[in-house]
Amino acid sequence: MRAPVTTRTVVAVGKESAGKSRLISSLTGRSARSSNFRGTTVACEEYRCGEYTFVDTPGISRESDGAAVCEALERLGPGDPVLLVVPATHLDEDLRDLLPLVEGRRGAVVITHRDRVSAAPEALERLRRESGLRFIPVDARHLGPREREEVLAALGEPARFPGSVRQRVGWRIEPRATVLERPRLGPLLALLLLLAPAVLSVWIANTFAGLVEPAAETLTAPPAAAAGNLPEPLREVLAGDYGLLTMGPLLFVWAVPTVLAFALFLGAYKASGLLDRTTSAVHPLLRPFGLGGRDLARVVMGFGCNVPAMINARSCSGCSRGTCVSAIAFGSACSYQLGATLGVLAAAGLPHLALPYLLYLGLTTLVYTRLTSPPEARSPLDLLPTGRRIFLQPPAPAAVWSEARNTLNMFFRQAVPVFLAITAAASVLNWLGAVPAAARLLSPAMSLFNLPAEAALPVVLASIRKDGILLLAEGSLLESLTPLQVLTGVYLAGVLLPCLVTALTIAREHSRTFALKLLARQALFAAAFAAILGWAGRPFL
């Protein structure tokens, strides 16, 4: 009988954008699996390869990040080494900041970005003699077999980390300044660059859907007609107004192209360093609202799909994670919500209202996070010291696809099954009369928003699945709405509650209590903002 293989856990520690993820991916040749590390609240990426399980901890950029990494280090076993990852361009600075975190533990130091500094083996030799540690310079993007063997050998014989070193290498290379570092123009350009993937992804998806949707409807028509002869509630689940064959194909016609395009754009941003530079540029603008620059990147990611954005929020700083999740649930108009909203505006002959809709959505999201974020998330001491030291470089196709593949995996493994289950549940609720009953119950409240009672059904269904917004485009209802009511209707239906897929993801990522509090708070603020729009917007529309 073969003895079980003993695995060793290696925890990688480093600052934001030190190259940890790329290094571990090159070492293992594997893709990551997200999980909380050994019962902690620390969300990490795990890469399993042979006798090692590499754990990529969140990049450190704030004090709360350091506390989270310490929590993970406390769960290490006595034989589990630490891989300290520091960039050659800021070697002395990072050793000064990180060695106290790993003092007394065993491991090795990998120096990334070696291609950006002149070789100075004698300086590293002085560090080795003083500390007893192995210092291994590598280019994480092009890790060779020799470098890989050297890293694994160092982990096989780990040395004890000191709390500090006196020797200084003297390497400090700053990237060339760009327009993003200019005080006024930089943040504006950064915002445009961060929003561009959402706009381009939706345009690509809409173009693709316009070509493919007729063929999809032709393919699903025969099975939908056959399902019409089945007994209830199976007929309703498969071929009803909200059935799997009726609405399900839209998931692949509209949402999948959006998610794919968005994942590729963000993968290119991250692999090139542009994501770090843009988020660093907008960070000072967002800090008063309880969000960080990197939080905005996750909110923007939600325009593709809220589920990968929620999961990526695991690596937010502890002080801003809750606020980031709230912003995604409130202000990230996912591919379904945005597509349905644009569809209603187009049907009403008001496509020009898309810009006011997005502006009002963005403004109210900032007000919402400002009023609900904890004080520490808005602290002026909340800085991003690592963002401006990131070098811009051409994105490697392998790195772009690696980033995009992780997002797609999360979408297909987690979002799609829940979406299909909710489609079936919504069909059953409609068959039982629960959806129309909820709409009748909510109908009197529509007058608070200057909307007719008939608008309640789209609002109710959109709280289950966001394409319910399309019910606002039904002929008799749409004809009765003024332009302001159309804008108010799509806004209220979009933000009153996150869809059930998002709500369930929040409960799984945090807790049911956190999710229920978030839903109640969001409904209250969304109702207030929609009422303001419905009544105070009259002079403008």
Instruction: Per-residue pLDDT tens, the chain, 541 aa: give them.
Output: 444 445 788 888 888 778 888 888 888 877 666 666 665 556 677 888 777 888 887 777 655 555 667 767 777 777 789 999 999 888 898 999 889 988 999 999 999 988 777 766 788 888 899 999 999 999 887 888 899 899 989 998 999 999 999 888 887 777 788 898 888 899 999 988 988 887 787 778 778 877 887 888 888 889 888 888 889 888 988 888 778 887 767 667 767 787 788 889 888 988 888 888 888 888 888 889 998 887 888 888 888 788 878 877 876 776 788 899 999 999 998 877 887 888 899 889 998 998 899 999 999 999 999 999 988 878 766 655 555 567 888 888 887 887 788 778 777 877 788 778 878 888 888 888 888 899 999 999 999 999 999 999 999 988 888 888 988 988 789 999 999 999 999 999 999 999 888 998 899 888 899 999 999 999 999 999 999 999 999 887 7
Alpha helices in 319-415 (DSSP H): 321-331, 335-347, 354-372, 397-410
Report pLDDT for 416: 80
518 lies in a domain?
yes
Last residue of a domain, one of 160, 194, 213: 160
Are residue 343 and residue 299 in the same domain, yes or no? yes
Answer with the one of 118, 144, 160 that is the final residue of a domain: 160
Is residue 171 situated within a structural domain?
Answer: no
The answer to whether 477 and 486 are in contact (CB under 8 A) is: no
Same domain, 411 and 364: yes
One domain for residues 363 and 310 = yes
Q: How far apart are CA 117 and CA 377, in angstroms?
A: 36
So what's the pLDDT on residue 65?
59
Q: Enter the tokens of residue 117.
A: 């500094």
249 lies in the same domain as 367: yes
Distance, in Å, from the CA atom of 163 to the CA atom of 102, rounded to the nearest integer, reads 7
Spell out the alpha helix ranges (H) of 433-499: 434-442, 456-462, 475-480, 483-495
Q: Are residues 201 and 150 in the same domain?
A: no
Note the pLDDT of residue 330: 96
Quick one: three-class SS letters along 148-169? Answer: HHHHHHHHHCCEECCCCCCCCC
- Whether 137 and 209 map to the same domain: the answer is no
Whether 117 and 207 map to the same domain: the answer is no
Vertex 305 angle, CA 301 and 306, to 5°: 80
Q: Select from 125, 145, 160 the last residue of a domain.
A: 160
Residue 170 lies in a domain: no
Are 283 and 136 members of one domain?
A: no
Domain that holds residue 298: 185-381+396-536
Q: 211-216: which pairs have CB atoms within 8 A and are 24 or more residues apart?
A: 212/253, 213/250, 213/253, 216/249, 216/252, 216/253
pLDDT of residue 32: 64
Same domain, 155 and 276: no
> How many angstroms separate the CA atoms of 53 and 76, rounded?
12
pLDDT in the model for residue 530 = 97
Peptide bond into 233 cis (omega under 30): yes
| Residue 85 C-alpha from the chain's centroid | 24
pTM of the model: 0.77
3 part of a folded domain: no
* CA atoms within 13 A of residue 535's CA, in its CB half-sphere: 10
451: left (phi over 0), alpha (psi -120 to 50) or beta: beta
For residue 173, is it within any domain? Answer: no
Q: Within this chain, do residues 85 and 231 fall inside the same structural domain, yes or no?
A: no
Residue 179 lies in a domain: no
Measured in whole angstroms, how far is the alpha carbon of residue 400 from the centre of its chain?
16
**336 and 485 share one domain:** yes
Residue 134 corresponds to which tokens in the numbers above?
A: 């192995």
80: in domain: yes
332 and 283 belong to one structural domain: yes
According to the model, what pLDDT value does residue 431 have? 87
pLDDT of residue 369: 96
Residue 139: CATH number of its domain: 3.40.50.300
Residue 1 lies in a domain: no
In 10 A of CB 145, how many CB atoms? 7
- Provide the domain count of the chain: 2
